[in-house]
Amino acid sequence: MLKTKNPQAARTQAQIMRALAGRSAIVTGSTSGIGLGIAQALAGQGANVVLNGFGPADQIETLRTEMSREHDVEVLYSGADMSRADKIAEMIDVASHAFGQVDILVNNAGIQHVSPIETFPPEKWDAVLAINLSAAFHATRAVFTGMKQRRWGRIVNVASAHGLIASPFKSAYVAAKHGIVGLTKVIALEGAEFGVTCNAVCPGYVWTPLVEKQIDDQAKAHNISRDEVVRNVLLAQQPNKRFATIEEMGALVSFLCGPAAQSITGTALPVDGGWTAH
């Protein structure tokens, strides 16, 4: 750590040490959970950020202004629905005009539906595939030309341990997450010579509202209590027996977007306490 007694010099050093200063990022699904942790971490490294997702307007506005003030970066909000290609294109347009370019795209927005396959509602299948997989294709398609032209870009797809292995009752989610791991590899190959990297992160269980909701759904599917779901279903496969945090996810994505990770591309990185090591 550099030390100085001159406050002006200290500020300059702090700015230099922010690895993503001057970059601009879109993080889909960042009004809550993992996306919010990632947006905070990227802003903490100096990136301007577009927040996206749903929620009460006043809470999102507070989030936006506090993130901007805390990290001294610009933070915008787009309420674009990631199930709609036209809205995704609009969000990228707004970000490109506001910031001049999009350097970092984090495809994180996701939903879950838990049901045996015979009774899995087809409209839920369509929604899970649209938000968890197709949105990443549409968003990447819209930012890729600019990243290649500038010869710098970072795309991080938030997949899941379910991008690498399966569990019962999650047909759409597992299909979408396996799909996004494949998409990650294709984008990595197409971007490799242009300084554009693409990686997937594959969390096991992270403590977020999406997981909290699953506890109730799994309790119904297995006909057991919430405590039993946590102990015997959710963390049953996770050897370290702890939920990861959104701060850990933010730190990892921020690393993948930074200079030390420029040769890391096409990976699907498990963050699952050893789950997929079984």
- Enzyme catalytic residues: 173
Cβ neighbours for 91, distance < 8 A, ≥ 6 positions apart: 26, 50, 52, 78, 80, 139
Q: Which residue has the tokens 């839920």?
A: 124
Q: Count residues contacting ligand NAD (CB under 6 A)?
A: 29
- How far apart are CB 131 and ligand NAD at their closest, in Å? 5
Task: Give the residue, chosen from 9, 54, 227, 247, that forms a contact with ligand NAD under the rule CB under 6 A.
Answer: 54
Distance between CA atoms of residues 110 and 130, nearest Å = 9
Q: Which residue has the tokens 């047909």?
A: 171
Contact indicator for 256, 199 with CB cutoff of 8 Å = yes
Nearer to ligand NAD, 127 or 264 (CB): 127
241 lines the binding site for ligand NAD (CB under 6 A): no
- How far apart are CB 132 and ligand NAD at their closest, in Å? 6
DSSP letters for 125-182: HHHHHIIIIIHHHHHHHHHHHHHHHHT-EEEEEE--GGGTS--TT-HHHHHHHHHHHH
27 lines the binding site for ligand NAD (CB under 6 A): no
Contact indicator for 184, 140 with CB cutoff of 8 Å = no
Instruction: Choose the binding region for ligand NAD from 5-13, 108-116, 221-229, 255-263 (rule: CB under 6 A).
Output: 108-116
33 lines the binding site for ligand NAD (CB under 6 A): yes
108 lines the binding site for ligand NAD (CB under 6 A): yes
81 lines the binding site for ligand NAD (CB under 6 A): yes
- How far apart are CB 22 and ligand NAD at their closest, in Å? 26
Nearer to ligand NAD, 34 or 75 (CB): 34
- How far apart are CB 150 and ligand NAD at their closest, in Å? 26
133 lines the binding site for ligand NAD (CB under 6 A): no
Strand duo 48-52 + 196-203: pairing: unpaired
134 lines the binding site for ligand NAD (CB under 6 A): no
Residue 210's nearest CA partner among 180, 242, 243, 236 is 243
Interaction pattern, residues 198-227, with ligand NAD; x per rule: CB under 6 A: -----x-xx-xxxx----------------
Distance between CA atoms of residues 12 and 97, nearest Å = 28
Beta-carbon count within 10 A of 153 CB:
26
Q: Considering only residues 111 through 130, tell me which ones interact with ligand NAD, judged by CB under 6 A.
A: 111
* Alpha-helix residue ranges (DSSP H) falling in the chain: 7-16, 33-44, 57-71, 85-99, 122-129, 135-150, 171-191, 209-222, 226-228, 246-257
Task: Give the residue, chosen from 24, 45, 48, 52, that forms a contact with ligand NAD under the rule CB under 6 A.
Answer: 52
Binding site for ligand NAD (CB under 6 A): 29-35, 52-55, 81-83, 108-111, 131-132, 158, 160, 203, 205-206, 208-211
